């Protein structure tokens, strides 16, 4: 691996933005030394983005129903998109749900197998499994899959339409969901009623599974906490990460208890939630947010940073930490997230317009284009 001495750029160090060389040696940031010089004047060098939750990979694995037989080819395409957006560590959020299709347990197993067998990926791709808490009959199989694939991060969802089921009404989108799952609408509704009826057994089942997974150092979280009471409920069962809380009260409860709060970067880019929930930028301004994640759009983390800076919510260093150092801390990844000597050389070369000119993972180029590519070739 060629040693590189990147000169001329502003470098985001832990102490802030500084002017000075950055040395990459044997895939890590070096404190001193020499290497092949590359002049990056006019650019910024930033820590690589650590994306805590993204399901944008789905469109690469199934652009149309049945169109992608080899998931490895789709993952290679995911790799390229991640790198082009400055993401060096990506948590791929895969469902394990009653909803069927790409959210089914069967597809989750295919996905896990494909990710473990696909070679040549440059972006580090980790797995988050999103488990539907009411699938009581699947707990053992789910736990076995987590163990077999060393899944580091599990989030519990509950997407059942409880309100409609409580009233004996047909849930919205029933026919579409049934078709996706391969069931008739009647069979799908019967399944939803069965899962709903077993809801009293769920809290204890979640608590026991969470205890076993935590003993294996699996990170645990809940998704879409809508109230402070909901966050308190899941925290009491060992789920200490709050993903995409929907209200100020839920986020405040998580923050007060020291639970990491993850918000969607698209929420910041849009200027608010697409579904009318709490504003992520407002939560950032209050200091309640630990990390911003791509959610469904891989360009969003870097776009959110630029939006936060442009709107005066925070400076570049604080905003970039939300997509690099702080998500790395949430995942316990102490070898990345900041440009410090001895840490992995995961870095992004970004122009003043926010465009990514190059992405390096452990010192290896995963993406490079335009003027930055020309400078590396000339250096």
Structure confidence at residue 240 (pLDDT): 97
Tokens of 110: 């295919």
Domain boundaries, the chain: 1-48+336-379, 49-335
Both tokens assigned to 8: 């001329």
pLDDT exceeds cutoff 60 at 66: no
Confidence at residue 271, expressed as pLDDT on a 0 to 100 scale? 85
Residue 281: the pLDDT is 96
CA pair distance 283, 253, nearest whole angstrom: 12
Query: Under DSSP, is residue 93 helix (H, G, I), strand (E, B) or coil?
Result: strand
According to CATH, the topology of domain 1-48+336-379 is Urease, subunit C; domain 1 (2.30.40)
Under CATH, what is the fold of the domain 49-335?
TIM Barrel (3.20.20)
Q: Stretch 79-99: mean pLDDT, rounded?
A: 97
DSSP code of residue 1: -
- Cα 204–110–54 angle (5° rounding)? 70
pLDDT of 53: 98
Residue 79: pLDDT over 90: yes
pLDDT tens-digit profile of 216-260?
999 999 999 999 999 999 999 999 999 999 999 999 999 999 999
pTM for this prediction: 0.95
Residues contacting 269, CB < 8 A, separation 6+: 297, 300, 303, 304, 307
The predicted pLDDT at position 123 comes to 98
d(CA 59, CA 289): 28
Please report the pLDDT score of residue 352 as a whole number: 86
Q: Residue 361: which of 17, 121, 114, 164 has the closest Cα?
A: 121
Longest pairwise C-alpha distance within the chain? 71
Instruction: Please state, for a pLDDT cut of 70, what percent of the chain lies above it.
Output: 97
Token digits of residue 231: 């966050």
193: Cβ contacts below 8 Å, ≥ 6 apart: 165
Is the pLDDT reported for residue 312 higher than 90?
yes
Mean pLDDT of 32-44: 92
Gap between the Cα atoms of 46 and 186, Å rounded = 53
Q: What does the pLDDT read at residue 44?
A: 97
Tell whether the model's pLDDT for residue 298 goes beyond 60.
Answer: yes
286-309 residues labelled b (16+ CB within 10 A) or e (exposed): eebbbbbbbbbbbbbbbbbbbbbb
pLDDT-based confidence at 328, cuts 50/70/90? very high
Q: 291, 292, 338, 285: which is closest to 314 by C-alpha? A: 285
Contact (CB, 8 A) for 78 and 125: yes
pLDDT class for 154, splitting at 50, 70, 90?
A: very high
pLDDT of residue 68: 58
Judge whether 300 and 339 are in contact, CB under 8 Å: no
Q: Is the pLDDT score of 67 beyond 60?
A: no
Query: Can you tell me which residue has the tokens 């003027």?
Result: 371
Report helix, strand or coil for 360. strand
Residue percentage of the chain with pLDDT more than 90:
88
pLDDT score of 65? 60
**What pLDDT, in 10s, does the model give residues 125-147?**
999 999 999 999 999 999 999 99
The Cα–Cα gap between 62 and 176 comes to: 17
pLDDT (average), residues 156-184: 90
Name the pLDDT band for 63 (thresholds 50, 70, 90). low
Q: Do 316 and 285 contact (CB within 8 A), yes or no? A: no
- Using N-to-C axis directions, what is the helix angle for 71-84 and 105-117, rounded to 10°? 70
Show the tokens assigned to 240.
């200490």
């Amino acid at each position: 691996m060629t040693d590189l001495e990147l000169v001329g750029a502003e470098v985001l160090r832990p102490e802030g933005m500084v002017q000075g060389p950055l040395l990459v040696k044997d895939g890590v940031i070096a404190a001193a030394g020499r290497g092949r010089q590359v002049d990056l004047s006019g650019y910024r060098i930033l820590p690589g983005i650590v994306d805590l939750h993204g399901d944008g990979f789905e469109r690469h694995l199934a652009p149309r129903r049945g169109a992608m037989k080899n998931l490895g080819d789709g993952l290679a395409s995911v790799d390229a998109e991640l790198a082009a957006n400055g993401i060096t560590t990506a948590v791929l959020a895969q469902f394990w749900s009653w909803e069927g299709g790409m959210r089914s347990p069967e597809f989750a197993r295919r996905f896990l197998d494909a990710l473990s067998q696909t070679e040549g990926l440059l972006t580090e791709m980790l797995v988050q499994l999103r488990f539907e808490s009411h699938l009581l009959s699947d707990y053992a199989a789910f736990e076995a899959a987590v163990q077999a694939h060393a899944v580091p991060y599990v989030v519990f969802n509950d997407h059942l339409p409880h309100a409609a089921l409580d009233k004996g009404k047909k849930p919205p989108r029933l026919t579409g969901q049934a078709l996706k799952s391969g069931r008739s609408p009647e069979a799908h509704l019967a399944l939803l009623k069965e899962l709903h009826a077993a809801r009293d057994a769920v809290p204890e089942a979640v608590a026991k599974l969470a205890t076993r997974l935590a003993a294996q150092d699996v990170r645990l979280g809940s998704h879409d906490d809508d109230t402070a009471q909901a966050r308190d409920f899941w925290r009491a069962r060992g789920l200490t990460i709050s993903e995409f809380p929907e209200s100020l009260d839920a986020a405040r409860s998580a923050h007060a208890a020291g639970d990491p709060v993850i918000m969607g970067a698209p929420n910041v880019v849009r200027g608010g939630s697409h579904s009318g929930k709490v504003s992520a930028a407002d939560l950032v301004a209050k200091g309640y947010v630990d990390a911003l994640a791509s959610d469904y759009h891989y360009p969003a983390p870097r776009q959110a940073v630029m939006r936060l800076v442009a709107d005066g919510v925070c400076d570049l260093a604080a905003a970039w930490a939300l997509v690099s150092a702080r998500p790395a801390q949430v995942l316990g990844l102490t070898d990345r997230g900041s440009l410090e000597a001895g840490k992995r050389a995961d870095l992004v070369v970004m122009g003043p317009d926010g465009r990514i000119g190059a992405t390096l993972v452990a010192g290896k180029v995963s993406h490079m284009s335009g003027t930055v590519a020309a400078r590396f070739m000339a250096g």
